Structures are given as structure tokens and as C-alpha cells.
Amino acid sequence: MSPTAKRRLHLWYGIALAVLTAAVGVLFAAQAADLYFSGAGYSRELVTERLTSPAVAVPFWLWIAAIVAGGILTLLFPPEKKAIKRIPDDRKTALRLLSLAGEGESEEYRAAKAAVEKEGRARKIVWLSCFAVLAVCAAVALAFVFNFAAYPNVEDYPIEEPNAAVYAAILMLVRSVLPCAAVAFLAALGATLYDAFSAKRILPQVKLLLKEGGRKPADAAEAKQAAFDRPLVLLIVRLAVLAAAIALIAWGIANGGMGDVLAKAIAICTECIGLG
């Protein structure tokens, strides 16, 4: 088989598998939604009945067969190996060149240096503003989460609806926390996009600095970069993350959260997924 035919075969197989995967996912989601809105609840018997029905089982096993066929197709007609191209990172390139640039006295050098410093100040303001927005959003979200008095009271709901209070609490948290998460995400996205745009804009100026000022001595460039490459800094960060993880795990065990997670995991496996 020619390389062109082989590429077309893999392309059409990938498209067919993607469409089939999306169809099976939509079918599973529709079955789960139908069970939820029907009011029957999730149980091993109901889930087994839905999954073994022809409307679900046939597309699912076709999907499994397509995956197996893809493995056989790869063995018989292996795709061409392509070298992975690294996406250029303008920010890292600019910082690396800036650390190598020496001092110059020309007008072009001073103008380029002023432009780089101005862009650096603007970048700091953008990221500080982003961190401030993230801090405010986190504080507001935590205030809603830990405001236990605002949670619905189980006694206010009928006995025949034992999960109604839980659903009401979840909806309250979604309405309260989701806007904070959306604002924080948009702030982080905006700062990241500005950072990329800023790096692309100052890269020509940094190259001009390197051209007009020449290169620094090797020792000076390495000494400036050594602060970011010290193993001690990396070790401190790792130990801090490890200590925070251990503290949160201990807190969860102490307040009974481990038992709640275990009970929910057992309920999911036996009622929703249908295991056990």
C-alpha cells in the first residue's frame, strides 16, 4: 500500500472511530439522564437492564470492535512516524536572550531597553491584578462553602424525599461557587493570553538588545540563571506540597471525611456503575 493510501486509511478510520465514540458517549449520557428524570433512581438492576438493551449494547460492542480493528489496522499498516515539532515559547526565548544580552550605549539599545522594561511593568500589573481577582474569587467561594447556616435543613423537606435537601444544597453551591470559578478562569485566561502577546511583542526588542549590546560573559549569564536552577528551591517546593497533602489527608481522616468518601464510592460502584 502506498504511503498516501495508508494515510487516507488511517484518517478515515480516525474519523469513523471519533464519530462512533461520540455517539456511544451521547447514548450513555442519555440513558443516565433518562434514569435520573424518570424518578426510578439508580440501582444495579436498572443499570444492567439499560446496558444490556439492544439500543445500548449493539453500539457499544460495535465501538469495542472498532477499537480492536484499529489495533489490527495499526499492526498491518503502521502509520508513518513523524518528528514531533516543539511549539516555540516566545516567553522562554525572550527571557533566555535577555539573560545573555550585554550592555550597550546606542540609541537603539536604550529605546529597546525602555520598551522591554515598560512591557515588563505592564506584565507585572496584569499578573498582580489576575492574582487579586483569583484571591477574591477564592475568598467568596470559601465563604459560601463554609457558611453552614445557609445550607438547607433536612427537617424542612418531606420524609419521602430524603435526598431533596442534598440536591438543594448542591444547587445552592453551584449557583454560589460556579460564578466565582468562571470569573477566576476568565481572569487567568486573559492574563495568559496577554502574557503570550506581550512576549511576542518584545521578542524583536530583546533581539535588538542582544545585537546592540553583545553577549554577557558566560559567568554572568550563568549566575543570573542559577537562581532558577537550584535543586534546593525545587526540594523546598516539593516538601511544601508533600506537607500540605499530608495535612489535608490527616484533616480528612480526623473529621470523618474518609468514611464518607468510602461510603459514596461503594454506593457508586454498586448502584450507578453496577459492580459488586
Give the domain ranges of the chain.
3-76, 90-217, 230-276
d(CA 276, CA 271): 9
Predicted pLDDT at 10: 87
Predicted pLDDT at 157: 64
Averaged pLDDT score across all residues of the chain:
81
pLDDT grade, residue 193 (50/70/90)?
A: very high
Per the model's pLDDT, the better-predicted residue between 266 and 77 turns out to be 77
The Cα angle at residue 139 between residues 153 and 244, in degrees rounded to 5? 95
Q: What is the sign, positive or negative, of the torsion defined by CA atoms of 144, 150, 152, 154?
A: positive
Highest mean pLDDT among 50-54, 131-135, 175-179: 131-135
d(CA 68, CA 19): 16
d(CA 177, CA 145): 8
Helix segments in the chain, DSSP class H: 3-38, 44-51, 54-76, 90-100, 107-145, 164-213, 218-229, 231-254, 257-267
Predicted pLDDT at 65: 93
d(CA 6, CA 77): 7
Neighbours of 4 (CB within 10 A): 8
Per the model's pLDDT, the better-predicted residue between 182 and 83 turns out to be 182
d(CA 177, CA 235): 34
Per the model's pLDDT, the better-predicted residue between 44 and 142 turns out to be 142
Predicted pLDDT at 221: 45
Report which residue type is found at 81.
Answer: K
d(CA 139, CA 127): 18
Phi/psi for 215 (5° steps) reads: -95, 145
Per the model's pLDDT, the better-predicted residue between 83 and 176 turns out to be 176
Highest mean pLDDT among 147-151, 171-175, 227-231: 171-175
**Residues 6 or more apart from 216 whose CB is under 8 A from it?**
99, 100, 101, 102
Q: Are the C-beta atoms of residues 56 and 28 closer than 8 Å to each other?
A: yes
Q: Give tens-digit pLDDT for 24-78.
A: 999 888 888 887 777 766 677 777 787 788 888 898 899 999 999 998 988 888 8
Report if pTM > 0.75.
no
Predicted pLDDT at 218: 55
Predicted pLDDT at 98: 78
pLDDT above 90 for 148: no
Q: Are the C-beta atoms of residues 42 and 35 closer than 8 Å to each other?
A: yes
Report residue 255 as a C-alpha cell. Answer: 473529621
Least confident range of 13-27, 108-122, 144-158: 144-158
**Residues 6 or more apart from 49 whose CB is under 8 A from it?**
none
The predicted model gives 97-115 an average pLDDT of: 82
